[in-house]
Amino acid sequence: MTCRSRKRSKRWCNVRKVRLNRFLAMVGVASRRKADLMVAEGRVRVNGKVARMGQRVDPDLDEVTVDGRPVPPKAGFLYFILHKPAGVLVSHQDPFGRPTVFDLGLPRELYYVGRLDMDAEGVLLLTDRYEVEKVYRAWVKGTSGEEALRTLRKGVPLEGGSTAPAHVRVVGLWRGGTVLELTIHEGRKRQVKRMCAYVGHPVMRLVRMRFAGLSLNGLGPGEWHPLDEEEVHRLKTSVGLKGPPKSI
């Protein structure tokens, strides 16, 4: 079944479609590189026809088979456990060419939960579920134009791969430049500062306003309070632990 049979607009269809090698990686069939090899060998079909290199598919509408077996669409999030060997870097890529965990054949759409040193080995959890939502206010140098905002929203190339799409907006001005609000779901080292530096706006002050559904809610610097029942519920909901708060 195609987008046309559902009378969808061409623009909507293009948004829904993803590259075939990415789709096969998303559902855990193979890495993108191995998926391309499968396509080149004629082992992959889309709606009964031999797939083409670079072909795009709609995961909800197109029928994809590998070696004659249907590939089910992704259901929920993917979770992998890896026994990381020593001598392998926990990163998507390495500028020095050292081997990474993704060279072991894992789908590159995954994110690692925590890290292990290169010379360490053992259990490593990987998932395609983004980390919890984080909202930052960044006081940056200079006036942020639309081009810089578009780059931040689309994703910035950093060591280890481009950042995931972010929600970015201008919320004010200060005497040295612009105040930005950035909502991200990853947890890379100094991510917001590195993103802003990439577009030419160094961060002079950075405040995390919300984390996993929780906000400062009037807390001053150095102040703290235990989470109340509603805040615990919001925290659990944010990280995927469902269920209403217990009554006391």
End-to-end CA distance of the chain: 53
Whether 160 and 234 have beta carbons less than 8 Å apart is answered as no
Distance CA 54, CA 231 (A): 46
81, β-bridge pairs: 125
Helices (H), 166-246: 191-198, 229-238
- Block residue for tokens 């134009």: 145
Contact assessment for residue 102 and residue 160, using Cβ atoms and an 8 Å cutoff: no
The single residue of 58, 67, 94, 117 carrying the catalytic annotation is: 117
**Spatial separation of the C-alpha atoms in residues 148 and 239, rounded to whole Å:** 30
Work out the angle at residue 68's Cα, subtended by the Cα atoms of residues 62 and 73, and round it to the nearest 5 degrees. 35
Residue with tokens 């509603």: 230
Gap between the Cα atoms of 93 and 102, Å rounded: 8
Inter-CA distances, 26 with 46, 50, 61, Å: 16, 20, 16
In the annotation, is 117 catalytic?
yes
Distance CA 107, CA 203 (A): 33
Q: Chain centroid to CA 177: how far?
A: 29
Which tokens hold the place of 158? 């950093």
Catalytic residues: 117
